[in-house]
Amino acid sequence: MTAMPKFRNRVTEMLGVQLPIVQAPMGWIARAQLASAVSNAGGMGIIETSSGELDAVKEEIRKMRDLTDKPFGVNIAQAFVRDPGIVDFVVEQGVRFVTTSAGSPTKYTAALKSAGLTVFHVVPTLRGAIKAVDAGVDGLIVEGGEGGGFKNPRDVASMVLLPLVRSKVDVPIIAAGGIVDGPTMAAAFALGAEGVQMGTRMVSAAESPVHGNWKQAIIDAAETDTVFLNRKFGPGLRALRTDRSEALEYADHNVMGEFGNAMKLYFGGDMNASLALSGQVAGRIDEIKPVAQILEETASGFFQVIDNLARNHSVS
């Protein structure tokens, strides 16, 4: 086997990572066990704050220092963390990379940047992207509607959104939504991304702390087995198709009040106790794999796809 090429672009440079592969900040899931596995495998592990449990988050960040000496980041999910001290909190933890989401990019970008952090903002539309760039972010996480979790009710697929944003802004883009392997990473790069983020793939990883029933449900899911909820009221939500989520699909009220008991699903394995947030890529995941294997296969698959494309489409 020949040596794998190295990635070297604005994302690897700014984040200080070997692989431009970021783990998504799923609430309660994106904690030290999973994030350290991603960082140790050469990607960017992220600690979540959307659980709102800042004391627990602090402890997870402390654990990260024991579990990895590689870079890791923190996500500030603005809608869920209303404490204005969150910026000081993140800066005090010595974190160098932050993603901000679910809120205005004008709120924290300046403070985070003046503290020397690298800031990427999560955007679901071109309008959001331009607003974030105007607010001075270093880069964007461009999130297609096929991804899981909280979504813009007017969902736009990665195939449309990525090249649109790429054509209108200059900052580096990390693609989220639909990314699960080498071919999807190569497609994202063809559309202008310089990095990718994986959510559902990481929920299903060996090091993910969620109950085995959730991982099995991802493995069992077809590509049509997610539902998009709450489009009429917002925020939208993409979750695995279950009795609970199907019953809410055409609800005539805001379903945010019907999240149920997340802990009972996440860690207790009762798939109808809450909503199992997931992207359409659930239909492409057939196996629980260790994070290191996921990242290695994604990177090698990426280079193989690029190599095949170039071989088949060069001037001869």
Site for a second copy, rule CB under 8 A: 2-5, 7, 9, 125-127, 144-146, 152, 154, 156-161, 163-164, 166-167, 177-179, 181, 183-184, 186-192, 222-224, 232, 250, 279-281, 283-284, 302-303, 305-307, 309-310, 312-316
CB of 11 to a second copy, least distance (A): 12
Interacting residues of 214 by C-beta distance below 8 A, sequence separation 6+: 203, 265, 266, 269, 271, 276
For 80, the enclosing helix (H) or strand (E) is none
Comparing CB distances to a second copy, the nearer of 3 and 66 is: 3
Amino acid at 80: F
Which residue type is seen at 129?
A
CB of 54 to a second copy, least distance (A): 33
Contacts of residue 290, Cβ cutoff 8 Å, sequence gap at least 6: 37, 205, 206, 207
Q: What are the φ/ψ torsions at residue 227 (nearest 5 degrees)?
A: -125, 150
Residue whose CB is less far from a second copy, 202 or 305: 305
Q: Which is nearer to a second copy, 134 or 246 (CB)?
A: 246
Task: In angstroms, give the least distance from the CB of 238 to a second copy.
Answer: 11
Which residue has 């932050």 as its token pair?
Answer: 98
Q: Closest separation between CB of residue 123 and a second copy, Å?
A: 12
Task: Estimate to the nearest angstrom the gap between the alpha carbon of 110 and the chain centroid.
Answer: 23
User: Which residue's CB is nearer to a second copy, number 30 or number 175?
Assistant: 175
Nearer to a second copy, 76 or 175 (CB): 175
Give the shortest CB-234-to-a second copy separation in angstroms: 13
Kindly report the backbone phi and psi dihedral angles of residue 215, in degrees, each rounded to the nearest multiple of 5, phi listed first: -60, -40
| Cis-peptide, bond into residue 235, ω within 30° of zero | yes
Task: Provide the token pair at 123.
Answer: 């955007």
The first and second tokens of residue 262, run together, are 């997340």
Our CB check for a second copy shows the closer of 194 and 207 to be: 194
Q: How far apart are CA 23 and CA 199, in angstroms?
A: 6
Minimum CB–partner distance for residue 57 and a second copy (Å): 31
Based on CB atoms, which residue is closest to a second copy, 190 or 219? 190
Take residue 289 and report the two structure tokens written for it. Answer: 């794999």
Two structure tokens written together for 47: 């600690």
Burial 217-242 (b: 16+ CB within 10 A, else e): bbeebeeebbbbbbbeeebbbbbbbb
Instruction: Quote the least distance from Cβ 249 to a second copy, whole Å.
Output: 8
Residue 312 C-beta: closest distance to a second copy, Å: 7
For a second copy, give the closer residue by CB, 139 or 145. Answer: 145
C-alpha span between 291 and 24 (Å, rounded)? 13
